[in-house]
Amino acid sequence: KDLKTSEAEIKANIGYAVGGTSYYVRKKIKDVIAITKTFYPEWNDELCESYLKEFSLDKEKRIRELSEGMKVKFSLTLALSHGAKLLILDEPTSGLDPVSREELTEIFLNLAKRGVTIFFSTHVTEDLDACAKRIIYIKKGKIIANSTYKEFVDSYRLVRLKDGDKKSRFIGVCSDKDGSTGLIKAEEEKDFSDREVLRPGVRDIMIHLEKEKIYD
Res. 215: pLDDT tops 60? no
CA–CA separation, 153 vs 112, rounded Å?
A: 22
Whether residues 58 and 123 share a domain: the answer is: yes
Whether residues 108 and 201 share a domain: the answer is: no
- Classify residue 137 by burial, with Cβ atoms within 10 Å: 0-12, 13-18, 19+: middle
- The highest-confidence range among 100-104, 130-134, 155-159, 178-182, by mean pLDDT, is 155-159
Whether residues 45 and 104 share a domain: the answer is: yes
**Count of residues making up the chain:** 216
**Tens of pLDDT, residues 116-150:** 999 988 888 888 888 899 999 988 889 989 999 99
Q: Is the pTM of this model over 0.95?
A: no
Residues 6+ apart with CB under 8 A from 199: 153, 157, 158
Indicate the number of domains in the chain.
Answer: 2
Res. 3: pLDDT tops 80? no
Q: Is residue 38 part of a domain?
A: yes
CATH number of 122's domain = 3.40.50.300
Whether residues 122 and 83 share a domain: the answer is: yes
**Tens of pLDDT, residues 34-44:** 999 998 888 99
Whether residues 63 and 163 share a domain: the answer is: no
Res. 92: pLDDT tops 80? yes
Whether residues 55 and 119 share a domain: the answer is: yes
Structural domain of 18: 3-132
| Chain centre distance of CA 22 | 20
**Tens of pLDDT, residues 102-116:** 888 898 899 899 899
What are the helix (H) ranges across the chain?
3-12, 29-36, 45-54, 68-80, 98-113, 125-131, 149-154, 202-210
pLDDT score recorded for residue 156: 96
